Amino acid sequence: MKVNPSFLIKILAPMQAVIPKRHVLPICECIKMDSTGFTGTNLEQTIHIPYKNLPEVCINFQEFMETLKTLGNQIVEMQVEKIPVAGEVNSDSEGNLSTCYTYKITFIAGEMTMTSFGENNSEFPSIPEFIPEFKTTIPDLTSFVPFASTDELKPAMNGIFVGKDICSTDAHRLKVELNQYHKEGNLDFLIPAKVVPKILNATRTIEVNSDCSRAKVHLDFGFFYTRLMCDKFPDYRNVLPEKTNTFVTINRNGIIKALEACLKYTNKTVPMVKFMLTEDKLSLFAEDMDYSKEFTTTVPCEWTGENGFLIGLNAKFLIQVLKDSKSPEVTLNLSTPNRAAWVDDNFIVMPIMIKETV
């Protein structure tokens, strides 16, 4: 059959999200070709890209992509030859013997000929049938990934919750879009954050089965299947503080620069910065008692609320939140020193208890 290497490179690019370079099951390092198209899997996630008239063979994915890149834009003839292996046989579960074959794959482009070897499709893991319960559209979830936990001891926080709201958290900071997502049915699901950057990096159509254990995402050239997380996502709404009259409006770049300066003088384990509202400014105070160093600065701002209000926040987490916000001016909504602080309307940062005043 004849193929266009440049086009194949384009449509097979998402496969890099699921096919590992190294796997305990070596066949999972391969891409499967058959009459339905291309298939790649790591046993948890699978991508299928429909394509007609493909030969039936498995080939190492990384090797296949390198071959396509080498061949460039010219049309290529791909031939597959089934060759019996002398002296080797296969045995099934009932003890029946059969001839063992290897698969010679030849790429011919003008004066250039490249040869590789593949595996029998029967060695490739079987993909369970997917029966959808409902179908909907979800937005780009990329911005939620940095807020999801990477701690394996907190598996429920390794995902992005999609329900009436969309939310991700690592227990120190949280990003949420409240009442923004309306879907068919009443099912909520938890998507592994690690699959989002390369798959859910644009508005996608998604289908979920009846028990919310698997999902099917419609890609530009195919379909992505993934196991959904069965862990119970934390009750995030319980930690969302009520909006109060203490609002601080401040230049985003200005507060980031001030916090980055404070960060150099904070304790490395708990990089706390104390925030105090006085007159027309926000005072920041950082100290590292282990090395007897401290730092104080002020940032101009506009605020309403209680004069002398004091709260401790993790400077590292707050900087990350502020950098995720794209507006030139950010608003902090503060309730009490022991309640989380709102940053704009989509982020919260958990407080650090202050044992002493400034």
Same-domain status, 108 and 200 = no
What does the pLDDT read at residue 210?
Answer: 82
| Residue 77, strand partner residues | 2, 108
Q: Average pLDDT of 45-53?
A: 94
Q: Which helix (H) or strand (E) holds 321?
A: helix 315-324
Answer whether residue 356 shows pLDDT above 80. Answer: no
Whether 299 maps to a domain, the answer reads: yes
Same-domain status, 193 and 255 = no
Phi-psi region of 185 (alpha: psi -120 to 50; beta: other; left: phi over 0): left
Number of domains, the chain: 3
DSSP string, 93-129: TT--EEEEEEEEEEEEETTEEEEEEEB-GGGSPPPPP
Phi-psi region of 289 (alpha: psi -120 to 50; beta: other; left: phi over 0): alpha
Final residue before a domain boundary, out of 123, 146, 164 = 123
What does the pLDDT read at residue 243?
Answer: 79
Q: Which two tokens stand for residue 132?
A: 């959808």
CA distance 14 to 220: 10
Same-domain status, 229 and 276 = no
Same-domain status, 339 and 261 = yes
Q: Which helix (H) or strand (E) holds 19?
A: none
31-35, 115-119, 210-214: which has the minimum mean pLDDT?
A: 210-214
Contact 151, 172 (CB under 8 A): no
Whether 358 maps to a domain, the answer reads: no
Task: Domain of residue 45: give its range.
Answer: 2-123
What does the pLDDT read at residue 291?
Answer: 85
What does the pLDDT read at residue 284?
Answer: 95
Name the pTM for this structure.
0.83
Supply the CATH number for residue 261's domain: 3.10.150.10
| Residue 118, strand partner residues | 103
Q: How far, rounded to the nearest angstrom, does the alpha carbon of residue 116 sit from its chain's CA centroid? A: 34
Q: Average pLDDT of 72-86?
A: 88
What does the pLDDT read at residue 136?
Answer: 85
Whether 137 maps to a domain, the answer reads: yes
Same-domain status, 191 and 302 = no
Type of residue found at 106: T
CA distance 91 to 97: 5
| Residue 287, strand partner residues | 294
What does the pLDDT read at residue 60?
Answer: 96
CA distance 276 to 319: 17
Same-domain status, 153 and 113 = no
What does the pLDDT read at residue 183?
Answer: 55
Q: Which two tokens stand for residue 357?
A: 């005043």
Residue 162: C-alpha distances to residues 166, 254, 349 (Å)? 5, 34, 20
3-class secondary structure, 324: helix
Answer whether residue 44 shows pLDDT above 50. Answer: yes
Residue bearing the bigger pLDDT, 305 or 229? 229
Same-domain status, 162 and 207 = yes
CA distance 104 to 259: 60
